Amino acid sequence: MPNQSLKNVVLHEPIQPITLELKLDENKVKLGNKLFHEPKLSSDNHISCASCHNLNTGGTDRLMLSIGSNKKLSHVNTPTVFNSGLNFKQFWNGRSETLELQAEIAILSGNLMGKQTWLEVINKLKQVSEYDSWFKQIYTDGITGDNIKDAIATFEHSLYTPNSRFDQFLQGNQNAITEEEKQGYHRFKSYGCVSCHQGMLLGGNMFQTFGLFGNYASDRGEVTKADLGRFNVTGDERDRYVFKVPSLRNIVLTSPYFHDGSAKTLEEAIKAMAKYQLGRKVPETDIDLIIKFLNTLTGQYQEKPL
């Protein structure tokens, strides 16, 4: 885990600032960056990890459902890749424990980057002399599936976004956010949003049923297998409609929202959360204040604002 200096941090708050420094193998980060943007990892040589996780648009593609290899649609909305290394599990249903496994599933999946084997992927990369020499410099056994996963995961770990205005506030700068934004944070806590959206990522560290008060999926209509969430992983009836709580970091950049991409705006998302997770209706004035608070959560990547 990254080291975070707690000097001047507001310790009694349920949210912690993202670490400012993370030690990673820079050679692996550079190789992973190249692979992350490499369409040869897909079966049709047209889709890369960056196709769905665009670093210029908050780490997402801002589509309801992503367009994968051979123009197949994904089953769920693409979550942001930023800060993914700080999640306790990967994918909406938490079926991957690590970024390495997440990368493998994405690359070999028929619905994302096309149905293929590691041997097919490795043979394509070996045809590029740059990759062959680059891998041999970093890994003694050269290009392998495990090494591809390791490089991509190392790069994804580098995609953390510290130093948001809210982080600066948590670290003691009372002027980093406005009075209205502070009021929005107070509403965020007082309504109970923070019971799930807490910790360093304001989420990403627990599972929760989507629809504690009412059945969201049936109310929306046309219930799909993807709506069953973690039930698809465990087969446990208690996991029906259960999903990983998403991080709210950089949330204003990553619309549309929810696993189905059904909420086009933060206002829609907050209203749905209030109805199905809190069992109440939140006044428009409070929604506006909460959105102002959420705007303070946009961080920096490589010391530049997202």
Q: Which of 106-115, 152-161, 191-200 has the lowest mean pLDDT?
A: 106-115
Percent of the chain with pLDDT over 70: 96
pTM: 0.94
SS3 90: strand
Residue 112 has pLDDT above 90, yes or no: no
Class of 26-157 in CATH: mainly alpha
HSE of 57 in the Cβ direction (CA atoms, 13 Å)? Answer: 14
Evaluate if residue 46 carries a pLDDT over 60.
Answer: yes
Residue 37 per-residue DSSP state = T
Report whether pLDDT(11) > 90.
Answer: no
Q: What is the mean pLDDT of the chain?
A: 95
Helix, strand, coil share (%) of the chain residues, nearest 5: 45, 5, 50
pLDDT range class, residue 2, cuts 50, 70, 90:
very low
Asked whether the predicted pLDDT for residue 1 surpasses 60, the reply is no
Higher pLDDT, 259 or 109: 259
Classified as helix, coil or strand, 290 is helix
**Where exactly are the structural domains of the chain?**
26-157, 165-206+245-305
Query: Which whole number is the average pLDDT over 131-150?
Result: 97
Token code pair at residue 116? 């293929």
> How confident is the model at residue 83, as a pLDDT?
98
Q: Cα separation of 284 and 303, whole Å? A: 34
Q: Which CATH fold would you assign to the domain 165-206+245-305?
A: Cytochrome Bc1 Complex; Chain D, domain 2 (1.10.760)
Using CB atoms within 10 Å of the CB of residue 122, give its burial: 0 to 12 exposed, 13 to 18 middle, 19+ buried.
Answer: middle
User: Which pLDDT value is given to residue 111?
Assistant: 79
